[in-house]
């Protein structure tokens, strides 16, 4: 070969090599980047080119797919009882992407997940169409319905957990929305979506209040303060007198007393009696006696200050603050900068009901292929041990007294042992707004403790005392517990 031809051959070889390098770079290095590029319409067309897999509750789908009849996207999402299930499913929209379970499990639902490789291979060999897998949840239809209907037109949320496993049984938020109304691409869908945005709707119906909204937990937090007192040996006998003068002055203040809600028998009250009537002075002093570091540590064992509570939808972080002495005393009764999601307070209740063991909350039981083969199964996991079994039993005894003859009598269920705690949390500057009404509870039978519930109502026109939680939130918690118990029969 003469010299010019050799140079041409080498040059052509380099061009081929460069082409091969570029092709491999695009296919293997830039593949994910190109796939996730918002301008890559082919991915979206493929995503909505086949029916989406379903989200399953109690063996039945609460989602579906329907043919659009126009445009590039052949199918769009549908929802059964969309408003009731939106806090669980989230939405999947051709125009506005997806969130919550729909987003987190998108690859399973669209059939593109590597876990479905065998199923996709069979479809390719047999000429079958690619199908999406299903997401099987831990939710209870009866419990969710009780929670959703109990909230009604009130703004608030409900979270219910199986204390023994951590399985989420109900997750309701009000006001809610129907994801079907903006599942497509039309102007009507855009109008429906924009009407739900917070800047256009102050009620913010797309906010998942059960997971993503934090509130001052009010007197429901006193069970955590009582737990800290027992775990750290400040008190050991729940029926013995405490060292609680009345009035009791907040530390480092110019004689500012921590008042109780009314003329309550709180002077040196036992832990049981103090929880029964909800003594601010007793629990505020306990928090002050233990100190901020100890209180914060106990709250963290229950899940506070954990930014990664995934259900798998991530919950907002509940916060027990690092604070000064008077603020720490207020945080010990669920006020000041103490903030909690309804899920967090359900976790607190579940840990107490489960003998002091807190299980990781979860709402996806398993992922299944289109042929119904299980490709991923959840295994319950212990998250922490905030209490010894002995001290957990003591807190249970106290909470059961609250329901038997305290502020939580409206949660009583015939033939079932119920423990609970009411709470009314101050709201607004100088407590000018209607308070948040809380109730936490669990139901215990001879076969175990299948449910723990937390309910919060954002506003009420009832009395400002702890009894507001008993009037507004306890009946909702009762109906959810009854629904779960009926499922266990």
**What mean pLDDT comes out for the span 467-472?**
79
pLDDT at 229: 98
Order of strands, edge to edge, in the sheet holding 436-445? 168-174, 156-161, 448-457, 436-445, 417-425
Task: Identify the band that residue 379 occupies on the pLDDT scale cut at 50, 70 and 90.
Answer: very high
For the ranges 46-50, 198-202, 334-338, the lowest mean pLDDT is seen at 46-50
Going along the chain from its start, the domains and CATH numbers come out as 212-364+381-488 (3.40.710.10)
Does the annotation mark 219 as catalytic? Answer: yes
> Within its chain, how far is the Cα of 450 from the centroid?
18
Express each pLDDT in 12-41 by its tens digit.
888 888 887 777 776 666 666 655 665 656
| Tokens found for residue 203 | 């009620």
CB 473 within 8 A of CB 455: yes
Q: What is the pLDDT of residue 19?
A: 81
pLDDT per residue as tens digits for the range 344-362: 999 999 999 999 999 999 9
pLDDT of residue 42: 62
**Which two tokens mark 116?**
């479905």
Residue 393 has pLDDT above 60, yes or no: yes
Lowest mean per-residue pLDDT among 106-120, 127-141, 413-427: 106-120
Predicted pLDDT at 279: 97
At 333, list the tokens: 């009764």
What is the per-residue pLDDT for 13?
80
pLDDT tens column, 161-187? 999 999 999 999 999 999 999 999 999
Report field, pTM of the whole predicted structure over 0.85 = yes
Q: Report in angstroms the alpha-carbon separations of 19 from 14, 26, 313, 397.
A: 8, 11, 43, 75
DSSP states along 347-391? HHHHHHHTTT-EEPPB-EEEEE-TT--EEEE----EEE--S-HHH
CB 298 within 8 A of CB 386: yes
**Computed from CA positions of residues 298, 303, 304, 306, in that sequence, does the dihedral angle turn out positive or negative?**
positive
DSSP conformation class of 25: I
Please give the angle made by the CA atoms of 468, 473 and 475, to the nearest 5 degrees: 110
Which neighbouring-strand residues pair with 444? Answer: 417
Tell me what the mean pLDDT of segment 332-347 comes to.
97
How far are the Cα atoms of 118, 165, 480 from residue 124, in angstroms, in the given order? 10, 39, 46
Q: What pLDDT does 212 receive?
A: 97
- Listed in sequence order, the residues at least 6 apart from 191 whose beta carbon sits closer than 8 Å to its beta carbon are none
pLDDT of residue 34: 57
In the predicted structure, residue 70 carries a pLDDT above the cut 70: no
What stretch of H or E contains 137? strand 134-137
Active-site residue, selected from the candidate residues 93, 119, 219, 479:
219
Lowest mean pLDDT among 112-116, 283-287, 310-314: 112-116
């Amino acid at each position: 070969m003469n010299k010019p031809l050799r140079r041409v051959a080498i040059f052509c070889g380099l061009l081929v090599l460069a082409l091969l390098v570029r092709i491999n770079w695009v296919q293997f290095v830039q593949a994910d980047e190109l796939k996730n590029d918002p301008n890559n319409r082919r991915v979206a067309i493929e995503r909505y080119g086949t029916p989406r897999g379903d989200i399953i509750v109690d063996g039945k789908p609460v989602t579906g797919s329907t043919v659009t009849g126009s445009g590039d996207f052949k199918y769009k999402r549908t929802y059964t009882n969309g408003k009731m299930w939106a806090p669980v499913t989230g939405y999947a929209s051709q125009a506005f992407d997806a969130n919550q379970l729909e987003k987190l499990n998108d690859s399973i639902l669209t059939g593109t997940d590597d876990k479905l490789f065998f199923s996709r291979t069979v479809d390719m060999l047999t000429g079958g169409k690619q199908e999406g897998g299903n997401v099987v949840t831990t939710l209870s239809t009866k419990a969710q319905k009780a929670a959703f209907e109990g909230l009604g037109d009130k703004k608030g949320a409900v979270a219910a957990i199986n204390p023994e496993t951590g399985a989420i049984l109900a997750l309701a938020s009000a006001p809610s929305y129907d994801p079907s109304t903006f599942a497509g691409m039309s102007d009507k869908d855009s109008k429906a979506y924009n009407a739900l945005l917070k800047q256009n709707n102050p009620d913010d119906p797309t906010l998942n209040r059960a997971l993503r909204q934090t509130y001052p937990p009010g007197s429901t937090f006193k069970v955590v303060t009582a737990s800290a007192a027992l775990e750290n040996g400040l008190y050991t006998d729940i029926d013995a007198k405490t060292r609680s003068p009345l009035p009791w002055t907040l530390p480092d203040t110019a004689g500012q007393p921590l008042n109780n809600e009314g003329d309550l028998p709180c002077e040196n009250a036992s832990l049981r009696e103090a929880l029964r009537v909800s003594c601010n002075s007793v629990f505020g002093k306990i928090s002050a006696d233990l100190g901020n570091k100890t209180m914060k540590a106990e709250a963290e064992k229950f899940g506070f200050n954990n930014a990664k509570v995934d259900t798998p939808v991530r919950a907002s972080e509940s916060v027990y603050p690092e604070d000064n002495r008077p603020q720490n005393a207020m945080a010990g009764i669920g006020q000041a900068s103490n903030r909690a999601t309804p899920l967090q307070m359900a976790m607190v209740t579940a840990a107490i009901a489960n003998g002091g063991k807190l299980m990781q909350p979860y709402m996806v039981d398993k992922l299944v292929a289109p042929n119904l083969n299980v490709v991923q199964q959840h295994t319950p996991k212990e998250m922490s041990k905030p209490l010894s079994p002995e001290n957990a039993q003591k807190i249970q005894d106290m909470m059961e007294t609250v329901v038997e003859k305290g502020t939580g009598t409206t949660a009583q269920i015939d033939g079932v042992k119920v423990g609970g705690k009411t709470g009314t949390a101050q709201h607004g500057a100088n407590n000018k707004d209607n308070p948040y009404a809380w109730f936490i509870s669990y139901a215990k039978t001879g076969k175990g403790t299948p449910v723990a519930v937390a309910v919060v109502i954002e506003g009420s026109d009832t009395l400002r005392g702890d009894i507001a939680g008993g009037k507004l939130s306890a009946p909702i918690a009762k109906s959810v517990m009854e629904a779960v118990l009926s499922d266990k029969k």
